[in-house]
Amino acid sequence: MTENRFFLKDAKEHLGKTVEVKGWVYNKRSSGAIIFLQVRDGTGFIQATVVKNEVGSEVFQKASEATLESSIIVEGILREEPRSPEGFEITVKKITLVDVVKDEYPIGKKDHGPDFLLSNRHLWIRSKRQWAILRIRSRIFQAVEDFYQKEKFTRFDTPIITPNACEGTTTLFELDYFGQKAYLSQSGQLYLEAAIASLGRVYDFEPVFRAEKSKTKRHLTEFWMTNCEMAFCDLEENIKVQEELIMYLIKELLEFCQQELKIIERDLAPLKNIKAPFPRLSYDQCLKKLHELGSDIKEGEDLGNDDETILMNHYKQPLFVTHYPSEVKAFYMKKDPKNPGRVLCADLMAPEGYGEIIGGSQREDNFEVLKKAMEKNKLSLKDYGWYLDLRKYGSVTHSGFGLGIERFIAWVCKLEHVRETIPFPRTIYRMSP
């Protein structure tokens, strides 16, 4: 980096040395002639101990004036301190008050309702728990990129502004594009299918948009999805790649996010026990299981949120549900040659009650079959002609899937609601700040 700035993340390497921490006061207590400032610098947390007898009255005065969330620079000696949660503390020698907060900081120790916290999301993200979740998110993003690059995928950024819909037309955000109607992308999948004939194996990782009026704990109107698409790949291989991706992400999480997982008090045992290959149920088997578990889902219906919850409360491993009826799945999925009423698809459900995190399938590669499916779904050949072209010029067996990253994070962090997994969540009721 441009400077040899000390960061709290590297505290272990600086024990016994004089360090300078540039950060914010997130907590404070005093005991007569000692003030304990809890300081964070973005990479970690530390207790800075200010002893009046040692620092003199001027520095001690500054410590007294440092209110919650004031920005501050503390200089002092970094020591081991087993009693502090981080295992270290700083014996302060010098303090620079950068900006002292005069008003009371809005987010206090008392309980705030979700609406208040979301309205103050720009401040709420400073809390230790939110910090930890956002750090985990960042690491998961990095791990997704690493996985795909290591497996010889090429990144292929699919467009957001599109003239047509991929996943049903009722949940599209409409846009005025210089006088034409356009829509925000719900998935880059169709475009990735075009890319495989150039690049073989491709992925995207970007925000997608669904104007769903769902108020569940699993829905955001703007969320991040990573899709991949593979040439010369069938359903079976597609499932294996998903297993490898999930196992890789969990491994990276457990290796690099120990501090963060501790802060959010995630029970690690269920994550450590995840093992591929994951169990599978066909749609028909799944319905039977759901009926046993008390669901009233009917033959031919898609799984609802509640079905996913009761099903996945029952599983300790992620579960593939495969071979859905073609009616409840998208037009582009390949019909099962052994059972044309079913498609060659697999959804991955997360355990501990979390439900669907991945949707994937083998794609229809036959020109005539796809054309008929498009006509049946009233998709215009003017808009989708390019997609049909892909079955005209060198069609191949191909498959892919999309992982909803917020749902994945909600599961691995064991969060109540997906809204805490993204910096500024967008829901039906909220698009600010």
Considering only residues 101 to 130 of the shown chain, the ones binding its own copies according to CB under 8 A are 101, 103, 105, 120-123, 125-126, 130
* Contact flag: residue 276 with its own copies (CB under 8 A): no
Bridge partners, residue 430, by sequence: 427
Which member of 86, 145, 252, 356 binds its own copies (CB under 8 A)? 145
Which member of 207, 270, 325, 353 binds its own copies (CB under 8 A)? 207
CA angle 190, 191, 196 (to 5 degrees): 100
- By CB under 8 A, which span of 132-140, 267-275, 320-328, 371-379 interacts with its own copies? 132-140
- By CB under 8 A, which span of 22-30, 52-60, 329-337, 348-356 interacts with its own copies? 22-30
* Contact flag: residue 362 with its own copies (CB under 8 A): no
* Contact flag: residue 231 with its own copies (CB under 8 A): yes
* Contact flag: residue 199 with its own copies (CB under 8 A): yes
For the CB of residue 367, give the shortest distance to its own copies in the complex, in Å.
9
Which member of 86, 222, 284, 352 binds its own copies (CB under 8 A)? 222
Nearer to its own copies, 25 or 281 (CB): 25
Which member of 54, 86, 206, 301 binds its own copies (CB under 8 A)? 206
Tell me which residues in 281-320 interact with its own copies (CB under 8 A): none
Which member of 65, 115, 157, 255 binds its own copies (CB under 8 A)? 157
For the CB of residue 431, give the shortest distance to its own copies in the complex, in Å.
5
3-state DSSP of the chain: CCCCCCCHHHHHHHCCCEEEEEEEEEEEEEECCEEEEEEECCCCEEEEEEEHHHHHHHHHHHHHHCCCCCEEEEEEEEEECCCCCCCEEEEEEEEEEEECCCCCCCCCCCCCCHHHHHHCHHHHCCCHHHHHHHHHHHHHHHHHHHHHHHCCCEECCCCCEECCCCCCCCCCCEEEECCEEEEECCCCHHHHHHHHHHHCEEEEEEEEECCCCCCCCCCCCEEEEEEEEEECCCHHHHHHHHHHHHHHHHHHHHHHCHHHHHHCCCCCHHHHCCCCCCCEEEHHHHHHHHHHCCCCCCCCCCCCHHHHHHHHHCCCCCEEEECCEHHHCCCCECEECCEEEEECEEEEEECCCCEEEEEEEEECCCHHHHHHHHHHCCCCHHHHHHHHHCCCCCCCCEEEEEEEHHHHHHHHCCCCCHHHHCCCCCECCECCC
Quickly tell me which residue has 């999805």 as its tokens.
Answer: 225
- By CB under 8 A, which span of 109-117, 134-142, 298-306, 330-338 interacts with its own copies? 134-142
Which member of 46, 60, 92, 135 binds its own copies (CB under 8 A)? 135
Tell me which residues in 253-272 interact with its own copies (CB under 8 A): none
For the CB of residue 321, give the shortest distance to its own copies in the complex, in Å.
20
* Contact flag: residue 79 with its own copies (CB under 8 A): no
Cα–Cα distance between 317 and 67 in angstroms, integer?
A: 47
For the CB of residue 1, give the shortest distance to its own copies in the complex, in Å.
5
Contact letters for its own copies, residues 83-102 (x by CB under 8 A): ---------------xx-x-
Tell me which residues in 174-193 interact with its own copies (CB under 8 A): 174-178, 180, 182, 184, 191
- By CB under 8 A, which span of 160-168, 321-329, 347-355, 407-415 interacts with its own copies? 160-168
- By CB under 8 A, which span of 38-46, 282-290, 292-300, 337-345 interacts with its own copies? 38-46
Phi-psi region of 294 (alpha: psi -120 to 50; beta: other; left: phi over 0): left
Nearer to its own copies, 186 or 295 (CB): 186
Bridge partners, residue 77, by sequence: 18, 91
Tell me which residues in 381-410 interact with its own copies (CB under 8 A): 383, 386-387, 389-390, 392-397
* Contact flag: residue 39 with its own copies (CB under 8 A): no
Nearer to its own copies, 41 or 347 (CB): 41
Neighbours of 231 (CB within 10 A): 19
